[in-house]
């Protein structure tokens, strides 16, 4: 019996050790300061990936900006699964003078399909203007407090969100060359 108990305890310690290795420096810092998030580990380039709830995103974005994550490299959005969740992804870079290799982080903010609302970070990183508008236009994610949230690629009269996996294209006929 004792050997079984010891084996279970060893397995628990190994799992905890693995979980700590999955947390990067930023995740450890956020935990230390009581900021809610979920560490998703590292991508193939070694960039730390975090998942944050929509209601926590704006405050964490401001904190990241204050602590030198001052460059928003890109933002995109995708449909996780048909009828499932929608994700807005932010790639941030910490640019400091005298540092050869800037620190990067990937933030995923997951929103429910039924009411996909995420706070806009336009007022933190001004470059978010067109990127959030494109995510709204293609997937229907509403970025709260965005100053000009309207369609950017599709006509204003377009119905639906073309990049959602459950999107059904409207019936129309393409004009073809008569050769």
- DSSP-based three-state secondary structure for 159: coil
Domains annotated on the chain, with CATH: 21-162 (3.30.460.80)
- DSSP-based three-state secondary structure for 138: helix
**pLDDT per position as a tens digit, 65-102:** 998 899 999 999 999 988 899 999 999 999 887 778 88
With CA atoms as reference, report the closest residue to 84 among 165, 140, 27, 23: 165
**pLDDT per position as a tens digit, 160-170:** 999 999 888 87
Residues with Cβ within 8 Å of 27's Cβ and at least 6 positions away in sequence, in order, are: 37, 39, 48, 50
């Amino acid at each position: 019996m004792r050997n079984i108990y010891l084996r279970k305890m060893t397995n628990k310690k190994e799992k905890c050790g693995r979980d700590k290795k999955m947390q990067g420096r930023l995740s450890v810092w956020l935990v230390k300061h009581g900021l809610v998030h979920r560490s998703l580990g590292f991508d193939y380039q070694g960039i730390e990936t975090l998942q944050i709830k929509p209601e926590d995103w704006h405050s964490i974005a401001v904190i990241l900006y204050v602590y030198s994550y001052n460059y928003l490299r890109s933002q995109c959005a995708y449909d996780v699964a048909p009828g499932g969740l929608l994700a807005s992804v932010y790639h941030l870079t910490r640019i400091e003078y005298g540092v050869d290799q800037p620190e990067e982080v990937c933030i995923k903010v997951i929103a429910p399909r039924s009411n996909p609302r995420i706070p806009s970070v336009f007022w933190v990183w001004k470059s978010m203007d067109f990127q959030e508008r494109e995510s709204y236009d293609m997937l229907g994610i509403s970025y709260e407090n965005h100053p000009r949230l309207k369609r950017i690629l599709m006509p204003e009269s377009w119905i639906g969100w073309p990049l959602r996996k459950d999107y059904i294209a409207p019936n129309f006929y393409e004009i073809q060359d008569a050769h």
